[in-house]
């Protein structure tokens, strides 16, 4: 199982862009990179998934360099409601996703 490393916590302010980087040095060829968001007392919610280069949806962008050993989740113009824990997962060859501790993002007014 590919292990991921991401910062335990981050702070930002409303309107700023937030970038959360995840390291996954032993990612396998058939692994995808997926990010989830979790609010207190709720289950995780899928944000975005990618394999290589850049993926963008209505919520976020995901940047993956050519070596795929890391990835960066970019949240444009965060608001207070983006305060949550963000998990980076690497899986594909194995169906068992490993969540880790995630990054606790706090957005300040």
Tokens of 62: 């995901």
Note whether 42 binds another protein by CB under 8 A.
yes
Note whether 95 binds another protein by CB under 8 A.
yes
Q: Are 21 and 88 in contact (CB under 8 A)?
A: no
Closest contact distance (angstroms) between CB of 72 and another protein is 19
Closest contact distance (angstroms) between CB of 106 and another protein is 15
Note whether 97 binds another protein by CB under 8 A.
yes
Residue 96 or 109: the one with the smaller Cβ distance to another protein is 96
Question: Looking at 20, 24, 70, 87, which residue binds another protein (CB under 8 A)?
Answer: 87
Q: How far apart are CA 94 and CA 30, in angstroms?
A: 9
Q: How far apart are CA 57 and CA 48, in angstroms?
A: 7
Binding site for another protein (CB under 8 A): 31-32, 34, 41-46, 49, 85, 87, 89, 91-102
């Amino acid at each position: 199982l590919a292990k991921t490393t991401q910062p335990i916590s981050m702070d930002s302010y409303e309107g700023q862009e937030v970038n959360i980087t995840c390291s996954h040095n032993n990612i396998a060829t058939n692994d995808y990179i997926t990010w989830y968001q979790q609010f207190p007392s709720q289950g995780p919610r899928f944000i975005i998934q990618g394999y290589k280069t850049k993926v963008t949806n209505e919520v976020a962008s995901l940047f993956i360099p050519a070596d795929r050993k890391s990835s960066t989740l970019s949240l444009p113009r965060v608001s207070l409601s983006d305060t949550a824990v963000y998990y980076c997962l690497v899986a594909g060859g194995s169906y068992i996703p490993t969540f880790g501790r995630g990054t606790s993002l706090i957005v300040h007014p």
